[in-house]
Structure 1
C-alpha cells in the first residue's frame, strides 16, 4: 500500500483513498483519546508513514502517556538521506526505539547515523538506551542534556510506573553530543539545520529545519490537535517572542509538530501562538480585576475545549500562567 498523503487537503485529490483519509483525519474522532491502538502488531501507537519523500513519522497518541500507548504520545520521525538515516526522538522506552528501528529496516537498508532528542523529556530521551547500544550518536541541546542528566532517574521511574514490563531494558543514557544554537547536517540528499530558536515549551527545545523541502519538524515548539501543556518553568511570554521573532520567520510550508498529525503553519499558529496570547490575555484581565489564583483556574478557555487533553491541562495551564504573570 502506498504511504498516506497527510497533505491531501492542500493539493488536488487524486484518489478516493486520499479523499477518505482526509475526511477521517479532519474529524474530531481522529484526534480522540479514546480510539484504540492504531498499530496492534507493534508497540508503536501507529505505523510510520511517508509525509514528504524520504521523511517518515510514526504519529503518537494525543492522549497522555500510558501503558496502552507505551508512552508513544509524541511523534517519532526519521529521514532517509541516501547516506544513512537520521531519527528525531529517542522514544519513551527502549522497546519503542527498537520497534521504530524495525520499521526503519522495512523501508531502507541504510544504517541509522544519528538520533536527535527534541528536548529533555522522557519521550524524547528514554529510548536513547536502545540507540546507544547500537552505537548511534545522540544529539541534543545542551540545556536538554543538562535537564535529563539532572532528572533522568526520576523520569525513568515515572515511565516504569505506567509502562510496567514495557519499561524492560530502558536505562538513563544522556546524549553523546550537544550544541547551543545551531547544528548543521549535510547528509545525502538533505541539508538539515537543528535549531534552538529560543525559550519555548521546555528547556532545550529544538526544531529540525529542512529548508529545501520547506519542512520543519517542530518538536514542542508547536501543537495543534491536543492542548499544549505549560510547566512551572515555562515562560509563556518568551515562548510567544520566540515564535514571532524566530519560528515564524522559517516560513515553513509543512509542519510535523511534536504531537499530532503533520499540518501547516496556520494550524499550529492557531493552537500554539494564538492560544498562548489568548490565555495570557484572560489572565491579565483577571489580574487587573484583582482576581486570585484560586479563581484563575477557571478563566474561560472554552474556545479550546475541543482539543485533546483539555480536561487534564486547561486549569493547570491557567494556574501556571497566573503565577508567571502575577509580578510581571
Structure 2
C-alpha cells in the first residue's frame, strides 16, 4: 500500500515536468532566451510559438513574456530557480496574444507583478476568440490552471524596472504595430532589446485586423535609430543588430504595393497579384499568410 501511494505521489510530482523541454539560448551573460516554434500552436509545440527571455538584474529575475500556459510558466520558473537561485520579480507581457499572455495565470497566483501596456485591457475584451487556440492543442493536464488574468502594472510610454546591477526600460515605440498593446523591453547596459511582435524572423510576418502599417513602420524606424547590438524579435531565432530589417523591408513593400493597387481601384480578390514580396518567400508559412496580409491591409484602407 505504501509503495502504491509513493507511486501516486511520484506521478503527481512529475505530471507537469518537462512538458515543454525548454532549452536556453544565451544572449549575454545576464540574458537567456527560449525560442518558440515557427509554426502556429500545435499538439507538438503545445502553444510555445513565441520567444521568451529572462533577465538577471542581480537581485532578481525579470521574465519577458508569460508564455502560452500556466504549466509553461511553472516549468520556466523551476529552471530559473535551478540556474539562478533567485526569485522572479516581474513578468512583462509585450502584447495580448494567447501564446504570450496565458501563462500570466501562474505569476498571478504567485503574486508576481505583471506589466503590460494600458491598451491590453481593451484588446483582451475585444478578442476573446484569440484564446481558443491553445486549449484545442493541449490536454486538460497541459492547460490546467491556464486562464486570462488582469495585469497589475499598466505602462503608457515608458516604465523603468530598477535592478541591483542595472535597470530595464519598458518602451512603447509607437502607437501600434502588430497589435495596439505591443511594447518592447530595452536593457541599455546589455545593449539588448526584446521587441515582441514588432519584429518577426524565420516565419512570415502576420498583418492582422488590429495591426497598423504606418505605426509599425514608425516603430521599426525608431528601433533602427537606437542601434542596439542584440535585437530579439517575438518570433525567430536571429537576434543580431540587423534582425529587424526584413520586417521593416516587408512592411514597406506591403504598404506601397497595396496602397497603389487600391488607389488604382484593383479589386480586393486580385490585390495580391500586385504585391511584389517574392524576396520574402523564404519565410515559413509565406504562401499561406502573405496573401491574407494584403487583403487585410486593403480592407483597412476601405474603412479609412
Q: TM > 0.5 between the two?
A: yes
Is residue 276 of structure 1 aligned with residue 229 of structure 2? no
Name the structure 2 match of 1:230.
207
Are the structure 2 counterparts of residues 74 and 45 from structure 1 closer, same or farther at C-alpha, using a change threshold of 3 Å?
Answer: farther
Name the structure 1 match of 2:183.
206
Name the structure 1 match of 2:220.
243
Task: Give matches, 1:178-217, under 5 Å.
Answer: 178-198=154-174, 199-217=176-194
Q: Aligned with 2:115: secondary structure?
A: strand
**Structure 1 residue 241, shift from structure 2 partner:** 2.0
In 2, the alpha carbon distance for the partners of 1:217 and 1:78 equals 11
Is residue 287 of structure 1 aligned with residue 262 of structure 2? yes
Is residue 155 of structure 1 aligned with residue 130 of structure 2? yes
Q: Aligned with 1:66: secondary structure?
A: coil
Cα shift readout 1:66-120 (whole Å, capped 9, x = no counterpart): 2211111101111111111100111111111111112212211110111110101
Q: Aligned with 1:277: secondary structure?
A: helix
Is residue 124 of structure 1 aligned with residue 100 of structure 2? yes
In the alignment, is the contact (CA less than 8 A) between 2:198 and 2:219 conserved in 1?
Answer: no
Task: Give matches, 1:79-98, under 5 Å.
Answer: 79-98=55-74
In 2, the alpha carbon distance for the partners of 1:150 and 1:141 equals 15
* Uncovered stretches (5+) of structure 1, i.e. residues with no partner: 1-40
Cα shift readout 1:245-299 (whole Å, capped 9, x = no counterpart): x322321111111111142232311x21110001122213323443110001343
User: CA RMSD for the aligned pairs?
Assistant: 1.8
Name the structure 2 match of 1:133.
109
**Structure 1 residue 242, shift from structure 2 partner:** 2.6
**Structure 1 residue 145, shift from structure 2 partner:** 3.2
Q: Across the two proteins, how many residue pairs are aligned to each other?
A: 285
In the alignment, is the contact (CA less than 8 A) between 1:120 and 1:203 conserved in 2?
Answer: no
In the alignment, is the contact (CA less than 8 A) between 1:64 and 1:309 conserved in 2?
Answer: no
In 1, the alpha carbon distance for the partners of 2:97 and 2:78 equals 23
**Structure 1 residue 149, shift from structure 2 partner:** 4.4
Choose which of 159, 165, 174 in structure 1 pairs with 2:150.
174
Is residue 321 of structure 1 aligned with residue 291 of structure 2? no
Are the structure 2 counterparts of residues 258 and 45 from structure 1 closer, same or farther at C-alpha, using a change threshold of 3 Å?
Answer: farther
In the alignment, is the contact (CA less than 8 A) between 1:117 and 1:124 conserved in 2?
Answer: yes
Name the structure 2 match of 1:64.
40
Are the structure 2 counterparts of residues 250 and 137 from structure 1 closer, same or farther at C-alpha, using a change threshold of 3 Å?
Answer: same
Are the structure 2 counterparts of residues 324 and 151 from structure 1 closer, same or farther at C-alpha, using a change threshold of 3 Å?
Answer: closer
Q: Which has the larger radius of gyration?
A: 2
In the alignment, is the contact (CA less than 8 A) between 2:253 and 2:276 conserved in 1?
Answer: no
In 2, the alpha carbon distance for the partners of 1:327 and 1:168 equals 41
In the alignment, is the contact (CA less than 8 A) between 2:232 and 2:243 conserved in 1?
Answer: no
